Structure formats: C-alpha cells, structure tokens
C-alpha cells in the first residue's frame, strides 16, 4: 500500500535539523498545516545526499511538498561543496556599469546554473532574486543587491529570472517593498523606514517591471503607512495585489526573526501574517515553535492560496546532474560565475 498522503499544501514552511529526516520531522512534514520545507547549510553534505533527502521529502505527499532554499550567491549560498560557487549579485552590477549587454548575458547564465544544480538535487525553489536597491546603508543586504539603480536591478534580475525559468524554476523577489534603505538587520532588530512613498518609488520599480512567481515582504516597518512590518501589513499586501497586479505566492519572511516580534508569540505571528494575506509562512530554527503552531493554530481553509503554492512546483522533470556536464548553457554559466567570483 502506498505511503504517499494525498493532501493539498498547507500554509506553513518549516525546517529540519540535519541531513536526514527524523521520525518527528517526517510526521510534521505530513501534517495538514505544512506546505513546504526550507533547507539550510546544515542540511547539506553533498549533491548525492541532498538528492536522497529531497526524494524522501517529495515522496511523503501528493502533490509533493515544495522544497525551498536561500541560494542567491555570495554569502547567501547554502550548498557549496559540489556546487558552482556563485558570485554576489553586486559583481553583476559592477559589470553592468562597464558592459550592460555582457552583464545581462552573465546574469541569465548564472541563473541557469543556480537553478539547474538545485533542481538536479531535487530542490524546487531558491528565494531569489534579491530586488533590494543598494543605497549603501544596509550591511545585511550589502553585496546581495545587484545595483543602486532600479533599471539596472530590473534588467539584471530579469535576466537571472530567464535563466531560472530555463531550468524550470520559479522566481521569488525579495524583500518587498525594499530593505536596502534601512541599516538595521531584521534578523536581530525591527528596522524602521520613515520615507514617504515618492521617495520609495525607486525601490518599488523592480516589482512593477518584473514578472515574479513569488514575493517575500520585508520585516521592516514603513512608519508613514502602517505600524506593522510589511509582511503583516494589509496596506503593503494590498498594494502588491491590486496596484502592482501580483497574482503569485506571497511568502512571509521567517516568523522566528526579531523583525516579527511585534506580533507576540509564534501563533500570533502566524495569525497576523495569514490575515494580512501571506500564502506561505516560514517558521525556521525554532522546532519548539513549530510544534506549538501545529498544535494550536487553526487557520480557515483557503483553496485559492493552496493552488497558488502548488503552482510553484516545477512543471518539468528534474534535471540530470551528469547530463549537465555536457550542456553548453550550463558550462557557459559555470564560466560566467567563475569569472565574477572574487
């Protein structure tokens, strides 16, 4: 008898402790409230181990759970040994200043390598591209940003997305409506941006220009519009849906971060993000909090949101890692990445 559970995606994306599943983690991944798994560096040893882990996770449910990872390049690259080392996106911005056409081509090729290697190991989605502008103020964003010019960010991110899609991977833009202006790190603090909307227009421009499959709001308070961070704010979620016409998945940022603390405990944070309009809520690095949410949170069923999440699963077969070695687009992407790694 099949052990696959037929279950629509739930509203939580959770994590696991190591490189394989414990009995408790398997049970939690089969819970109706869970819709995805986010991986970290601690979950990775090798491409082969990762492929085995993701195959096991995908076998637990139908439709399969969405498996995501933060794998942007530079300092934010969870899988390293056995993967191509990717440059921080600022390197593409620096190339743009000299040779825009070459920068666009390199961005597309790097996007293909990024997605192809992950998909060959069974990962469905990387939380990329980072669309924050480089205002020279935010250390936590820093060289993760492509550029300070919204046109350059839009062009380079658009080319990277083309590469992701060539490998069958969706794109998740972050951190809406812009994290680059504030200096505080939302992992450990609650940043506040006090600019009026006209001054924020450059930060919003990439979201107007690009076709994104998913968006992750910032754990930043934009004080002139709402006392809540963007991921908990009906104002910003409504702007994304109505003014910008976004129809894809809205992820919360990690609800265990300090930037989410205004909403109280973990159940209150989940409720606030869900009511604001987030489709998939991340609860990371806090296994006790995951247990509390699964035991106590009972959001109303929403099939529309579940269908949006299901659309993020790749529609094409997983790539073959060995075959990539003979793929000219892949080899060109490896060369482009290597040329930009400091």
Residues 6+ apart with CB under 8 A from 209: 154, 158
Dist CA 128 CA 71 (whole Å): 7
Active site residue 71: no
Q: Where are the beta strands (DSSP E) in 54-162?
A: 61-62, 66-69, 71-73, 76-77, 125-126
- Choice among 187, 238, 302, 320 that is catalytic: 187
Q: What number of other Cβ atoms are within 10 A of residue 301's Cβ? A: 11
Residues 143, 193, 213, 253: which is the catalytic one? Answer: 253
CA 75 to chain centre: 15
Instruction: Decide: 207 and 173 in contact? Cβ < 8 Å.
Output: yes
Q: Which of 293, 294, 285 is nearest to 15 (CA)?
A: 285
Distance, in Å, from the CA atom of 212 to the CA atom of 101, rounded to the nearest integer, reads 22
Whether 134 is a known active-site residue: answer no
Q: Which two tokens stand for residue 279?
A: 């489709």
**Which residues are designated catalytic?**
187, 253
């Amino acid at each position: 008898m099949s052990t696959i559970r037929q279950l629509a995606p739930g509203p939580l994306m959770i994590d696991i402790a190591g490189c394989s599943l414990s009995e408790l983690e398997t049970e939690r991944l089969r819970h109706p409230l869970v819709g995805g798994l986010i991986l970290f560096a601690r979950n990775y040893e090798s491409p082969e181990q990762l492929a085995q882990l993701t195959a096991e996770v995908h076998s637990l449910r139908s439709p399969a759970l969405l498996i995501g990872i933060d794998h942007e390049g530079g300092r934010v690259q969870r899988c390293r040994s056995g993967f191509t080392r990717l440059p921080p996106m600022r390197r593409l911005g620096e190339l743009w200043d000299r040779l825009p056409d070459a920068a666009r081509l390199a961005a597309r090729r790097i996007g293909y390598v990024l997605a192809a290697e992950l998909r060959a190991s069974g990962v469905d989605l990387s939380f990329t591209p980072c669309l924050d502008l480089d205002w020279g103020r935010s250390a936590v964003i820093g060289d993760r940003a492509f550029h300070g010019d919204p046109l350059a960010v839009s062009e380079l991110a658009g080319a990277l997305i083309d590469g992701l899609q060539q490998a069958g991977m969706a794109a998740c833009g972050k951190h809406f409506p812009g994290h680059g202006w504030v200096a505080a790190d939302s992992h450990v603090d609650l940043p506040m941006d006090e600019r009026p909307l006209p001054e924020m227009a450059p930060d919003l421009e990439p979201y107007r220009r690009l076709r994104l499959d998913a968006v992750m709001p910032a754990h930043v308070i934009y004080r002139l519009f709402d006392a809540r961070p963007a991921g908990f704010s009906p104002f910003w979620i409504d702007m994304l849906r109505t003014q910008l016409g976004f129809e894809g998945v809205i992820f919360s940022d990690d609800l265990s971060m300090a930037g989410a603390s205004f909403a109280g405990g973990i159940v209150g944070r989940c409720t606030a993000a869900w009511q604001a309009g987030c489709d998939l809520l991340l609860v990371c690095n806090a296994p006790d909090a995951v247990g509390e949410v699964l035991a106590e949170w009972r959001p109303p069923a929403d099939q529309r949101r579940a269908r949006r999440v299901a659309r993020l699963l790749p529609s094409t077969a997983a790539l073959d890692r060995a075959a990539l070695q003979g793929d000219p687009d892949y080899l060109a992407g490896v060369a482009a990445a290597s040329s930009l790694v400091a």
